[in-house]
Amino acid sequence: MYPIVKKIIHSPAVKEFEVYAPMVAEKAKAGQFFILRVSEKAERIPLTIADYNREQGTITTIIQELGASSTLFGQMEEGDHILDFVGPLGVPSEIERYDHPVVLVGGGIGIAPIFPIARDLKEAGNEVISIIGARNKELLIWEEKMASVSDQLIVCTDDGSYGRQGFVTDALKDLYEERGQLSALWAIGPMPMMRAITNVTRPWELKTIVSMNPLMMDGTGMCGACRVQVGSETKFACVDGPEFDGHLVDFDLAIKRLSIYKDQEKRALAVLEHKGGHCGCQ
């Protein structure tokens, strides 16, 4: 059992959890993920590691309540225990020293998992430029944390309620026009956002890494549910990723696959709401 030691509510649907999982925290690296199961009858949920503290033995993650499983997790409180917590899984981000600035783009709750990558790149001696965005100010998270590991931070909101109005792609275009020489870019967020980023950077021939979040079941490469088409190859996000060359990812196929179980997800959420939406976690 893995106790929740801290919970922060960023908005009604966006929650931050710090979980005591010392064996996972000991080995965790930027770019990796873990899989948890709230209770015996709950689904397995893959979540990207947003932060880790080896001394305290904790893993931090941020979720957005969308379906039944994420809603159940979101209801848990400090002191509650998670039944299963497996990780770290996946291939860590490749961190190196580049000659020119690197760019980190985080959209929505994707801002959280982009943070440890930015931190490691900064510690490696890079000039780090971060662009973070959300639909509105209420959904913007971790601005101060991103600022602490960035030489320059650009904040965007779709509705202009905070920072500059517009999409992260608009800010990226302006940045490239201003700076020109960039070495690499990492993007984490909704798949349409990551697809848009790769479409922007492809003509620049800028190395662009995306973190894929396809449907996932076992997390060990056995089920094949998380397959992603990367160039001419079929890759598994759980063991080959979650990071891939964004210019090679078939985003149209990936987005289509995400919608396969939408009807079942809606029914599961309806059942949860009919039962009062209580997780029964103690």
CB count within 10 Å of CB 57 equals: 16
Both structure tokens of 2: 């893995």
Return the residue matching tokens 């993007």: 187
The annotation status of 63 as a binding-site residue, yes or no, is yes
Both structure tokens of 197: 């980023």
Rounded to a whole number of angstroms, the CA Rg of the chain reads: 18
The annotation status of 281 as a binding-site residue, yes or no, is no
Residues 185, 208: contact at Cβ < 8 Å? yes
Nearest 5°: the CA angle 244, 97, 197 is 35
CB count within 10 Å of CB 134 equals: 28
The annotation status of 223 as a binding-site residue, yes or no, is yes
**Among 127, 233, 254, which Cα is nearest to 184's?**
127
Both structure tokens of 58: 């904790």
C-alpha 213/C-alpha 202 separation (Å) is 21
Secondary element (H or E) of residue 133: strand 128-134
Positive or negative: CA dihedral 279, 134, 239, 251: positive
Secondary element (H or E) of residue 60: strand 58-64
The annotation status of 62 as a binding-site residue, yes or no, is yes
Query: Taking the CA of residue 93 as centre, how many other CA atoms within 13 Å lie in the half-sphere pointing to its CB?
Result: 32
Find residue 222's DSSP bridge partners: none
Q: For 138, which DSSP code?
A: G
Q: Which residues are annotated as a binding site for [2Fe-2S] cluster?
A: 223, 226, 238
Q: Which residues are annotated as a binding site for FAD?
A: 62-64
Q: Which residues are annotated as a binding site?
A: 62-64, 223, 226, 238
